[in-house]
Amino acid sequence: MTGGLVTATATRISTELWTVLARYRWRIALAVALLLVAKLATVAVPLLLKRIIDAFAPDAMPARLPAQLPIYLLAGYAVLRFSSTLFNELRDLLFVRVTLAAVSSYAQKTFAHLHALGPRFHARRQLGSLLPDIDRGTSGIAFLLGVGLFTIIPTLVEIGLVLAIMLSRYEASFAAIILLTFLVYAGFTLVFTARRVIYQRRVNKLDSHAKGQLADSLINYDTVKYFTNEALEARRFASIMDDWRAAGAGNARALFTLHVGQSAIIALGVAAIMLLAGQAVLQRRMSVGDLVLINAYALQVCLPLNALGFVYREARDAWVNAERLFELLRERPEIQDAPNAPPLRPGPGEIVFDHVSFHYEPERPVLTDLCLRIDPGTTLAVVGRSGSGKSTLARLLLRYYEPASGRILVDGQDIRTVTASSLRGAIGVVPQDTALFNDTIGNNIAYGRIGSTRTEVVAACRAAHLHELIAALPHKYDTPVGERGVNLSGGERQRIAIARAILKNPPILIFDEATSALDADSEHAISQELDRLSRNRTTLIIAHRLSTIVNADAIVVMERGRIVERGTHAELLRHHGAYARLWLLQQRMDKDMAL
């Protein structure tokens, strides 16, 4: 990452975290107050310990020492120790809601953002590598929130208090050694942690890549088995893990250098302080209690300093993880509603493609100056070779993409001027490959209209000729369908898609090659149900099998993004053009298969 990009990312993350903290400022203020009280108690412990030791020193004890003095000091020592722990725990209890709210907020924000992103984004990202980035990112944000307030700041406060006490009670050389140790430690940690971040980014990248490869291979389990490529998949995964292992080893070496260096600096600092203090005790310039106090403060500074180094390393790792999440959140949705866009006004369902051109890549046009009108309540079928632009019509109508030029009208309304959710709410889709949630049959069908009752779901299934099949299952509508519906046949999944569309009851329907993957019997049965479903609705059928569209009110033939023919089935056959050639070819293929 360049310096400017790093700075911009750091500023964005800091601003975002501050926004989260600002919503809980009173809770945070109380937590900080408890933290300061805990630190004061921690710093007071060595002072009280010095008094206890000096009170018991033989040359300091009077002939008749009051019996309550040592007991009072010892009791106070115990109370201070307990208070430090108690206030720290109370602080954590107060702040945990802030941390949980932040993690929950960013998880929800990321989830909603991913659904707002367009097909182009999801086509180029692997789900298996996306999920670890989200998980690490939300965890990183939670760590950063807690670290800034409750580790780095308290440690600096503690070091400041110790230095102030040391300067007020002892020679400046003690405070100077502590300050020098802190500065050397901080400089060493900053430099070597920055070097280690390079390894950490590579480890994270390879970890996400490995999880993406793992998920992709398991999703395509059947394909791996078909071609007996288990060994190939294992080698690919092993290659990624070898790279990950090498990056992890480099990261471990960098961490080793960092740990050893930090420990050496602390050890030298403590040794210098104790050497100076021991010499002062021998010269009678300090008491044994002073020696214990200085030792306690040296440890009290150096141990948090060591913890500070650990936290700084972890914070940099968390920062790297948060960077990935914020990169994801910076992705802008391709399709965004215009400001104050109104919902689509209900109408009879007229659809017009007005001089529409479109391309996925500039050098490869998909649609060129296409004009098409679908009258309300009629069925229009679109046929053509693969790559002719048939399915693109459906994607543009659903506003998954925007036309490069031209416009698409629904009941006279440019779909770019209305909300995408209202547009899609008016359209029902029966796709070629019906994707189902890993849930029950009943819940998958009810997804077509959230809030529908079981009675309405059953009615939709009866209309789709699916109820009898479901009723014969042991768990009926509570039968699990498995991951993406693997427990059901292709025909059963298509009937569920039809039942969903019936339950949604939209004025516009799209059938995107809804029967192309089915056998002849299933295709015939489902085609009849699609015919019934499309009655009195505006219907766009994207067809591969011409036998399923012979009853369409109009048929258009596309080639290279343009309409080359239009008419009814009978008219197009009489024309002896592209449609007639496709029809004859499919008839010949059907006869050959029958033989």
Asked if the structure places residue 581 within a domain, the reply is: no
Strand-pair partners of 11? none
Q: Which residues touch 344 (CB under 8 Å, ≥6 apart)?
A: 410, 411, 413, 415, 418, 419, 422, 423, 425, 426
Q: Residue 111, SS3?
A: helix
Residue predicted with more confidence, 334 or 509 = 509
DSSP per-residue letters across 350-366: -EEEEEEEEEEETTEEE
Q: For residue 5, what pLDDT is reported?
A: 46
Mean pLDDT, rounded, of the chain: 78
Q: Residue 414, SS3?
A: strand
Strand-pair partners of 430? 511
The span from the CA of 366 to the CA of 358, in Å, is: 6
Asked if the structure places residue 40 within a domain, the reply is: no
Q: Pick from 471, 529, 448, 468: which is nearest to 495 by CA?
A: 529
Residue predicted with more confidence, 366 or 30 = 366
For residue 530, what are the CA distances in angstroms to 183, 293, 509, 537, 539?
76, 87, 10, 11, 10
Number of structural domains found in the chain: 1
Where residue 595 falls among pLDDT bands split at 50, 70, 90? low
Q: For residue 407, what pLDDT is reported?
A: 92
Asked if the structure places residue 415 within a domain, the reply is: no
Pairing of strands 562-567, 554-559: antiparallel
DSSP conformation class of 151: I
Cα dihedral 219, 224, 225, 229, rounded to 10, equals: -150
Asked if the structure places residue 225 within a domain, the reply is: yes
CB 399 within 8 A of CB 334: no
Residue 164 has pLDDT above 50, yes or no: yes
Q: Which residue range is the domain that position 208 belongs to?
A: 12-24+96-330
Q: For residue 493, what pLDDT is reported?
A: 85
pLDDT in tens, 396-443: 998 888 898 999 999 989 999 999 889 988 888 888 778 788 888 888
pLDDT in tens, 78-109: 777 777 777 777 777 777 777 777 777 788 88
Asked if the structure places residue 35 within a domain, the reply is: no
Q: Is 340 left (phi over 0), alpha (psi -120 to 50) or beta?
A: left
With helix as H, strand as E and coil as C, how does 370-411 read?
EEEEECCCCEEEEEECCCCCHHHHHHHHCCCCCCCEEEEEEC
Average pLDDT over residues 150-158: 70
Residue predicted with more confidence, 209 or 395 = 395
> What tokens were used for 121?
């984004």
- Please give the helix or strand (H or E) that residue 193 lies within, else none: helix 172-219
The span from the CA of 413 to the CA of 407, in Å, is: 10
CB 449 within 8 A of CB 503: yes
Asked if the structure places residue 184 within a domain, the reply is: yes
The span from the CA of 464 to the CA of 529, in Å, is: 6
CB 380 within 8 A of CB 572: no
The span from the CA of 467 to the CA of 496, in Å, is: 10
Q: Which residues touch 401 (CB under 8 Å, ≥6 apart)?
A: 118, 119, 334, 335, 358, 360, 392, 395
The domain that holds 234 is classified in CATH as 1.20.1560.10
For residue 534, how many other CB atoms are within 10 A of its CB? 23
Residue 227 has pLDDT above 70, yes or no: no
Q: For residue 352, what pLDDT is reported?
A: 92
Where residue 65 falls among pLDDT bands split at 50, 70, 90? very low
Asked if the structure places residue 63 within a domain, the reply is: no
How big is the chain, counted in residues?
A: 595
Count of helices and strands (H, E) across the chain? 19, 10
Considering 154-168, 170-184, 373-387, 522-536, the range whose residues carry the highest mean pLDDT is: 373-387
Average pLDDT over residues 318-325: 78
Strands laid side by side in the 413-414 sheet? 364-374, 351-361, 405-410, 413-414
Asked if the structure places residue 506 within a domain, the reply is: no
Q: Pick from 552, 550, 548, 522: which is nearest to 537 by CA?
A: 552
- Please give the helix or strand (H or E) that residue 29 lies within, else none: helix 25-56
Q: Is 109 exposed, middle or buried (0-12, 13-18, 19+ CB in 10 A)?
A: middle
pLDDT in tens, 323-335: 778 888 887 888 8
